Structure 1
Amino acid sequence: MGGLTFVDVCSGAGGMALGLEQAGFESRLLLDDDEVAVQTLKINRPQWNVLRTDLRDFDPVEHPESYDVDLLAAGLPRVRSSATARRVDSGLEEQLLKATVYLVHAIKPRAVLIENVPELTHADSHGAFREFARTELDHLGYTFSRFVMNAVDFGVPQNRKHGVLVAVRRQWAEAFRPPASTLSEPVTVGTALRSSMAARGWVDAAHWAAQADQPAPTLVGGSKNRGGADLGPTRAKKKWATMGVNAHTVGDRVPGPDFVWDPELGRDNMVKLTVEQAALLQGFPSTWQICGLKTARYRQVGHATPPPVGKALGRAVAEALNSDSLASAAG
């Protein structure tokens, strides 16, 4: 399934792009408007063509490498959902959604992939955008589909649901199938983080890992207008507490050999997850570097599309786009 190319917009920390790379795609262009995210992309993949720009200002005429690609991928900033109902609505997220659809007009990829909150696929509040996207893409010759997938079903140690909009040119659309899980049971927080918790000689790492016997709740990156890093809303913090984790902050380093872990004594005796550990819970490899100060680094991780999700979606798109050549070979 090699030889396929993609453009990735609003690339962030590179989770979607990394997953597509793992699925056999080659990047033509990545873009993001955040300086620190662009640094993250460049330090991990110096060979990637990375552009710092606002998607709404992007002109593909100035970047001809964006034409004739197989896939346009967009892990866009999250639109409002039930979890962010109190957020002040700037309209930016919806503008970026429309900008992605308009970009399809210009570069005409064989497939389009938009990843966001589950509500984007079904909530009445996003019905106008879905109809706009379906109408525009149908006019351009694409078949539009939507579905929800959970990262935990693809090896990510986290319950994290994704709303996915896919548009495939009609020639290949019938062959597209949403990714199906192949896991028999989920990866737990303890399994994912036991080695890192023991990295500085903490003797209770195995004991802690045994208690952290479930996937993580959804990590939330927060906004630039919000305060410091934490692991999510009140319900998520309570879930973390059952695993002996202080979710009200993000740690600077893993516990040392003398750390006393006793959740009954309160937050000070619970472990704090580091940015690097949060990245592991998002399915990033341990070698992936996140640039910036702690809050900015955690924000990039929390906003990222988990690479295993990108990989699963990439494979599904690749199978559809290669279906004509496979059929020809079989004939």
Structure 2
Amino acid sequence: MHNLSHISLFSGAMGLDLGLEQAGFITQVLVELDPIARRTIQHNLKRLGRTAAIFEDVTQVTAEMLLEAVGLRVGEVALISGGPPCQPFSTAGRRAAIQDPRGSLFRDFVRLIEGVRPRFFVMENVRGLLSAAIRHRPIKERGKGAPPYAPDELPGSAFQVILAEFDRLGYSYVYGLLNAADYGVPQVRERVIIIGSRDHEPIALPQPTHHKDGLRLPRWRTVREAWDGLEDPSPEYPPYPESRLRFLRLVPEGGNWRDLPPELWPEAMGGAFTSGGGKVGFYRRLAWDKPAPTVTTSPAQKATDMCHPSELRPISVREAARLQGFPDDWLFCGSMADRYRQIGNAVPVGLGKAIGESILATMLGVSQTAVRQGRLFEFELAGKPSP
């Protein structure tokens, strides 16, 4: 029987973990600092009749603690996964990268991989990780007449530091920018995924199962499909103020602020009208027959609007959870804002499942298609020895 033990770091509301479990892995240890997210984890594990060790501060957790909790020795854990907090690498904000204390948490991820020596690891993060610099140069200090970039100011230098750490550990790896919509998630959401192998097995990124235009694959799933059968008789959402409703009434399905009459743009946008950036989230209304844009942590905020396709309200907590692939009975603890935040910060469950299936295919020595279809699954698990 294959060992499918899984240790989850930076677990959040368990979106990635749920996907990996759907692929076959068993989450035995979780590490999450946020107390509200820990309550979410504890409640749902109890509801499922599951037990797992739950730790708090990853900086205080040792490899020995993880191994004791999972009941295995160094080298026996199948998988460690996690996504260090993404704010330092986001294209929004200051992008302090690895000088930010949160950005340095990836070193704890590496430290625990080094101590546990799992067969595989998965690290996920925002697309900004690919272009983040170790030392950020403010925009006002760039351009004509500015001194040349130092090596640690070059775009992507922070990512190269991360890859160098995995090289140092002796892991081979593959990485890429994956769009969750390509894996059956009804949402356009890009994440950087790194999959590592201790034993240099032929790992691969998950193969897409869906395509934007349906070329040889099913088309991307839509908001309509995501919410089909959803029972949400009393949807929870923060109501829009009349000052916002006045303009949202004029925005068609699938539109945003650019669909307002141009003479209303300055008034509707306020100070944002003259600022840079695409501002696509302002007065944004979802389309029924397209995937949703990236589910945000604040779908009722002016700059990250996610208005219902046909109603004058933000998408509800449960509608947001459906777009992320969470089961309808998955309970999110805390205030409404806390629940939106946990959902918006999660890795889509469907993307996690696709990642897990790609790793499982390597473990079994079969194609990803065979794993997705369940062919040889039970036979292989029963017939091959543990690593």
Q: Structure 1 length as normaliser, TM-score?
A: 0.76
| Alignment partner, residue 348 of structure 2 | 306
1:75 aligns with 2:80: no
| Alignment partner, residue 245 of structure 2 | none
1:219 aligns with 2:295: yes
* Kept after mapping to 1: 8 A contact 2:176/2:192: yes
* Kept after mapping to 2: 8 A contact 1:30/1:48: no
| Alignment partner, residue 30 of structure 2 | 30
Structure 2 counterpart SS, 1:61: helix
Structure 2 counterpart SS, 1:84: coil
Say which of 178, 186, 193 aligns to 2:227: 193
Deviations 1:251-302 (A, max 9, x none): xxxxxxxxxx5xxxxxxxx133211111101111112111111111111000
| Alignment partner, residue 116 of structure 1 | 125
Structure 1 counterpart SS, 2:230: helix
1:69 counterpart letter in structure 2? V
CA distance in 2, matches of 1:242, 1:300: 20
Question: How far is the alpha carbon of 1:128 from its aligned partner?
Answer: 3.6
Structure 2 counterpart SS, 1:38: helix
Deviations 1:110-139 (A, max 9, x none): 111111112323555673443333333223
1:44 aligns with 2:52: no
* Kept after mapping to 2: 8 A contact 1:220/1:232: no
* Kept after mapping to 2: 8 A contact 1:60/1:106: yes
CA gap 1:36/1:95 in 2 versus in 1, 3 angstroms: same
CA distance in 1, matches of 2:96, 2:125: 18
| Alignment partner, residue 295 of structure 1 | 337
CA gap 1:241/1:271 in 2 versus in 1, 3 angstroms: closer
| Alignment partner, residue 205 of structure 2 | 178
CA distance in 1, matches of 2:302, 2:186: 18
Please list every run of 5 or more consecutive structure 1 residues that lacks an aligned counterpart in the other structure.
Answer: 202-207, 222-228, 245-260, 262-269
Say which of 88, 92, 95 aligns to 2:101: 92
CA gap 1:38/1:232 in 2 versus in 1, 3 angstroms: same
CA distance in 1, matches of 2:183, 2:13: 19
Structure 2 counterpart SS, 1:45: helix
1:279 aligns with 2:321: yes
CA distance in 1, matches of 2:189, 2:364: 29
CA distance in 1, matches of 2:326, 2:104: 28
CA distance in 2, matches of 1:112, 1:219: 26
1:146 aligns with 2:154: no
Structure 2 counterpart SS, 1:94: coil
Question: How far is the alpha carbon of 1:193 from its aligned partner?
Answer: 2.1
Deviations 1:127-163 (A, max 9, x none): 3443333333223221122101111111211110011
| Alignment partner, residue 299 of structure 2 | 230
CA distance in 1, matches of 2:359, 2:89: 27
Question: How far is the alpha carbon of 1:194 from its aligned partner?
Answer: 4.6
CA distance in 2, matches of 1:176, 1:57: 31
* Kept after mapping to 2: 8 A contact 1:156/1:308: yes
CA distance in 2, matches of 1:116, 1:277: 24
* 1:238-253 → structure 2 map (5 Å cutoff): 240=306, 243-244=309-310
Question: How far is the alpha carbon of 1:11 from its aligned partner?
Answer: 0.3
Superposed CA RMSD: 3.0
* Kept after mapping to 1: 8 A contact 2:120/2:197: yes
CA gap 1:92/1:274 in 2 versus in 1, 3 angstroms: farther
Aligned residues: 286
2:198 counterpart letter in structure 1? R
* Kept after mapping to 2: 8 A contact 1:71/1:112: yes
